[in-house]
Amino acid sequence: MSENRKPLLGFVSKLPGGTALGNSGKTHCPLCMGLFKAPRLLPCLHTVCTTCLEQLEPFSVVDIRGGDSDTSSEGSIFQELKPRSLQSQIGILCPVCDAQVDLPMGGVKALTIDHLAVNDVMLESLRGEGQGLVCDLCNDREVEKRCQTCKANLCHFCCQAHRRQKKTTYHTMVDLKDLKSYSQIGKPILCPAHPAEELRLFCEFCDRPVCRDCVVGEHREHPYDFTSNVIHKHGDSVRELLKGTQPHVEALEEALAQIKIMNSALQKRVEVVAADVRTFSEGYIKAIEEHRDKLLKQLEDIRVQKENSLQLQKAQLEQLLADMRTGVEFTEHLLTSGSDLEILITKGVVVERLRKLNKVEYSTRPGVNDKIRFCPQEKAGQCHGYVIYGTINTKEVDPAKCVLQGEDLHRAREKQTASFTLLCKDAAGEIMDRGGDNIQVVVVPNDKKDSPVRTMVRDNKDGTYYISYTPKEPGIYTVWVCVKEQHVQGSPFTVTVRRKYRPHPGVFHCCTFCSSGGQKTARCACGGTMPGGYLGCGHGHKGHPGRPHWSCCGKFNEKSECTWTGGQSAPRSLLRTVAL
C-alpha cells in the first residue's frame, strides 16, 4: 500500500495555492490526472474515479462500534466505544488527505456518486467543442444537440428520431455551442435500484432521495415528499452547518497566514543569529589563535631562559671541574714524584690554590627545573573583548616556604568552628597565584589520637587555602598541615581548645541604680554600694569603677567572655539584677 501512496503524496505536495486539488480538482481525478469517470465522493469530500479507487490497496478494519459503520474516517475515532461484537470491515485511504475510508458492503461502487463532478466534466467537455462526448442513446456517435426536457445529449441521427416520436416531438433541443455559457447541464439522476426511474422524491424516514417505485416498495409507509418541497428545509440545515464551518476556514487561513509570517520571521531571525554566531566564532577563534601564539612564544622564552641558565651553570661547573682536576693532578704528581725539597718549595702555592678551590661554593643540582605546565582552566584575561582561558605556569609550590596565618591558629573553643589560612609560596618565596595543590590537614586531640577531627579545606584558587575544623571537646590538639606530603612552616603545631564561649547573663550598665530603676536590693558584681540602704553601685559612690561594666562579672569590655561562675555564694539580689 505504501508503494501506491508515494506518488500521491508527491502529487499533493506539488498542488498550487495550498488547496488539495487546485482549479482542476472539479473535473480531474487526483490519481489518474484525467477527466473524472464515474466519480465517487469520499466521506472526506474528496472525489476520485471509481476505477482509481478500485486500484487502491484495501486493508482490514476491525469495527468495535457495534452499530452501523459510518463511512467517514472520523466516526470510528470519536464515537463512544460500546461493548459489542467485533466486526471486520474493509477500508482504504483517501489518496488526497490519507483519511481512512470505511467501504460499505457494496464496496467502492456503493459510495456516493459525485454528480457535481459529472456536471463539471460535461461542461469541460462542451467548452472543448464537444470532444469526448458521445450520444446518450446510441453511445456511438458524437453529440450535436441536447434535449433540455430529457437532459440527454444526442447525436444528429438520434436527434431526428427524438423529434419524430410523439412523446418527444415538442422537447426543446439546444445546440452544444449554446450550452457553453451554462453553469449546470447535468443528466437526470436515476435511481440505483430502479434505473428506469428518476430520483424525484425524498424519504424523510431514510433521509435519502427515492423514486416512484421505491415509495411503493421498500419505502412504503415512509413519509416522503418531492425534492423541490423539502430542499428548503434540508438546504437551510446545511447552510446553518456551513455558517458554523466558514469561521473555522477563515480562522485556519489566518492561522496559516500567521504561520507563514512567523516562518518568514523565523528564517530571517535564524539568518541574523547565524551571522552573529559566525561573527562571534570568527572573533573568538582569532582571539584564541592570538592567545595560542602568545602562549607558544612565552613557552619558547621560558625554554631559552632555562637553557641559558643551564648552559651558564654548565660552563661554570666545567671550568671549576677543570680547575679542580688541575689542582688534584698537580698535587698528586708533586706528592708522588717530587723530592722533599721540591715539595717544600711549591707547598705554599699548592696549599693556597687548594684552599681557594675548596672554598668555592657550587650547587650539585641544576639551577632550574622542568616544572612547566599548561593550566587550561585558568582565566588569562581578555583578548579583543573575549574572555580567554589557558596559562603557562612555571611556579612550583615549596612546602618549606608555605606559611600559616589566622587568629585561630593556636586557639579554639569547643563546638565552635576554628579557621586559619594556608599561604602557598614557591621556592623564591613568591606567592602562588593559582590553586590545585594537594593539601592534607589532620587535627587530632593529644589524649585521643585515634579520633581525628573532621577538617575542611577550601581552595581559593589564588594560592591560599581556607582551613576550618570544629573540636568537640576542650583540650590540647595537634595540627598537621602538609603540601605534597611535606610539612609547611610551623607544622605540626598545637592548639589549646577551651570550653565554649560563655556569654554574659547580666547587663552592661553604667550603674546598678540606673539599670534596676532604683531598686535598693539590686546588687552588682563590682561590689559598689550607695547610702540609704542601696546594695548596688551608683555614680560617684563607694566601689563604683567609674566606667560602664557588666553587672554579672564586673568586666569593662562589652564583648568579653563572662567569668561569673554562678555558684552558691552569689547573692540572690545579684541574680535579680542580672535578670534586668
Does one domain contain both 448 and 491?
A: yes
Identify whether 528 is part of a domain.
yes
Contacting residues for 232 by C-beta, under 8 A, at least 6 apart: none
Query: Out of 123-137, 448-462, 483-497, which region has the weakest mean confidence (pLDDT)?
Result: 123-137
Identify whether 446 is part of a domain.
yes
| pLDDT-based confidence at residue 398 (cuts at 50, 70, 90) | confident
Cβ proximity of 194 and 211 under 8 Å:
yes
- Per-residue pLDDT for 12 more than 70? no
Type of residue at 362: Y
Identify whether 463 is part of a domain.
yes
Tell me the per-residue pLDDT of 139-193, one tens digit each, with 9 for 90 and over.
788 878 888 777 778 888 888 888 888 888 888 788 776 666 565 565 678 888 8
Does one domain contain both 477 and 421?
A: yes
Q: How far apart are CA 489 and CA 511, in angstroms?
A: 50
Identify whether 438 is part of a domain.
yes
Cβ proximity of 52 and 44 under 8 Å:
no
Domain count, the chain: 3
Place of cell 566601689: 543
Query: What pLDDT score was predicted for residue 21?
Result: 41
Does one domain contain both 462 and 417?
A: yes
List C-alpha distances in Å: 80 to 67, 103, 556.
11, 21, 89
Does one domain contain both 411 and 475?
A: yes
Does one domain contain both 417 and 467?
A: yes
Helix, strand, coil share of the chain (percent; to 5): 35, 20, 45
What does pTM read for this prediction?
Answer: 0.47
Does one domain contain both 352 and 275?
A: yes
Q: How far apart are CA 340 and CA 338, in angstroms?
A: 7
Query: What pLDDT score was predicted for residue 127?
Result: 65
| pLDDT-based confidence at residue 358 (cuts at 50, 70, 90) | very high
Cβ proximity of 147 and 163 under 8 Å:
no
Cβ proximity of 91 and 101 under 8 Å:
yes
| pLDDT-based confidence at residue 134 (cuts at 50, 70, 90) | confident
Q: How far apart are CA 45 and CA 30, in angstroms?
A: 13
CATH number for the domain that contains residue 419: 2.60.40.10
Beta-bridged to residue 421, according to DSSP, are 405, 466
Tell me 580's DSSP state.
-
Range of the domain at 510: 502-532+547-559
CB atoms within 10 A of CB 502: 16
Sign of dihedral through CA atoms 113, 115, 116, 121?
positive
Radius of gyration of the chain (CA): 56
CB atoms within 10 A of CB 439: 21
* Average pLDDT estimate for 430-435: 83
Tell me the per-residue pLDDT of 273-302, one tens digit each, with 9 for 90 and over.
999 999 999 999 999 999 999 999 999 999
Does one domain contain both 494 and 523?
A: no
Of 358, 385, 417, which residue is a domain's last?
A: 358
Contacting residues for 206 by C-beta, under 8 A, at least 6 apart: 219, 222
Identify whether 433 is part of a domain.
yes
Query: What pLDDT score was predicted for residue 269?
Result: 95
Identify whether 8 is part of a domain.
no
Q: How far apart are CA 552 and CA 578, in angstroms?
A: 6
Query: What pLDDT score was predicted for residue 481?
Result: 94
Cβ proximity of 113 and 209 under 8 Å:
no
**HSE of 559, CA atoms in CB hemisphere, 13 A:** 0
Greatest mean pLDDT among 198-202, 270-274, 370-374, 451-455: 270-274
CB atoms within 10 A of CB 107: 14
Does one domain contain both 352 and 337?
A: yes
Q: Residue 342 burial by CB count (10 A; 0-12/13-18/19+): exposed, middle or buried?
A: exposed
Does one domain contain both 494 and 508?
A: no
Q: How far apart are CA 86 and CA 106, in angstroms?
A: 20
Identify whether 161 is part of a domain.
no
Query: What pLDDT score was predicted for residue 132?
Result: 59
Does one domain contain both 484 and 528?
A: no
Query: What pLDDT score was predicted for residue 331?
Result: 93
Does one domain contain both 490 and 506?
A: no
DSSP three-state, residue 237: helix
Identify whether 302 is part of a domain.
yes
Pairwise pLDDT comparison (129 vs 9), residue with the higher score: 129
| Percent of residues, the chain, with pLDDT higher than 70 | 85
- Per-residue pLDDT for 2 more than 80? no
- Per-residue pLDDT for 404 more than 80? yes
Tell me 153's DSSP state.
E
Query: What pLDDT score was predicted for residue 104?
Result: 86
Which of 531, 515, 532 shows the shortest CA–CA distance to 574? 515
Does one domain contain both 448 and 476?
A: yes
